[in-house]
Amino acid sequence: MDLDPRLTALRDLGGFFVLRAAEEAGRRLPTLDQAYGPRRPDVQGDPLIDLLTDPLAVRVRRVGAALRAPEPRVAASVAHQGLAARLWSAALGCAALYGAVPDLAPGAMRWDPEGSAPDDLWLTEVRPLPGDAATLADVVLHGHLEPLAAALRARHRLAPGLLRGNAASALAAAARELGRHARPDVASRAARLCRELLAHPLLTGSGTLTGTTFRRRSCCLYYRVPGGGVCGDCCFVRPPRSSPRAPSG
């Protein structure tokens, strides 16, 4: 099936899967490659300047305020997982539904870092690519999650294993949602692609997939949010009491 130029089939799968294409409203927003770039040390104060020149800092602040996160690295981890979930959901949903994935080049994707969850994403042009696991890895892992992780590690000292676990958890969750809400053939393709992607060198060892259930080997730090508890796929069965740092995997 060819890619719909407006990706309308994603809309029935829920907000994490929606990818708005060629929306006029997205044109004044920063692109994701701006978010992954080096931090501007001279940017502070004016929120409009921050939005255009340091959208990643804007997003981490926005998430931290919404969650009342006790420290920036907690907000940074949750922000990372939220964006990873959106990217995996849109890409995996297209691959499973259409048999193709749009080119999600960071410079062609606009993002509203001040929006609520799930993250608002706009794609300026729908250019189809093959819907196989290798292409998905190039598009999402190499194109987005590697530079995003590098930026967050530099700013917030997040452990590589934590970020790898976030990426794997978001992928497994996207496949699981497709299993619940998509046609059986679509769900089957999504599950196969998920298994292949979890074997990728950037994700291998991040957790264990049993059927559709994923158990990660690291913690995203959400338990440190007031009233947060542990996530369903966390390495912990209950929030830790003593150590301020979670395992990195």
Strand 120-123 relative to strand 20-21: parallel, antiparallel, unpaired? Answer: parallel
Phi, psi of 64 (to 5 degrees): -60, -40
**Which sign, positive or negative, has the C-alpha torsion 58, 177, 159, 222?**
positive
For residue 82, which of 13, 23, 129, 148 has the smallest C-alpha distance?
148
Which pLDDT belongs to residue 55? 92
d(CA 54, CA 37): 8
Q: Let me know: does 147 contact 36? Beta carbons within 8 Å.
A: yes
Q: What is the pLDDT of residues 29-79, one digit of tens each?
A: 899 999 998 876 655 555 555 666 789 999 999 999 999 999 999 999 999
Average pLDDT, the chain: 90
Q: What is the pLDDT of residues 205-233, one digit of tens each?
A: 999 999 999 999 999 999 999 999 999 99
pTM of the model: 0.91
Which pLDDT belongs to residue 191? 97
16 in helix, strand or coil?
coil
Q: What is the pLDDT of residues 152-163, one digit of tens each?
A: 999 999 999 999
Whether the upstream peptide bond of residue 244 has omega within 30° of 0, thus cis, is: no
